[in-house]
Amino acid sequence: MPFANLKVPADTLTPESKKKLIDIVTDAYAGIYGEEARSGTLVVIDEVPDGGWSIGGHILTAEMLGRH
């Protein structure tokens, strides 16, 4: 069973954009593993709260990422 766990900044996706992202990832797995993989493809979207990201040990916030 293909599995994708996507981490995104909290409150940046609408329900429609989440669906689009899930569809794109599922399509990609089906394109690689064949259509029989589509029904078993699991996609999880985790929304990371503000300040829950870091790069190189530096905490990133929404303000630093350009989201106000």
The catalytic site residues sit at 2
Phi, psi of 17 (to 5 degrees): -70, -30
Residue 35, CB half-sphere, CA atoms under 13 Å: how many?
A: 0
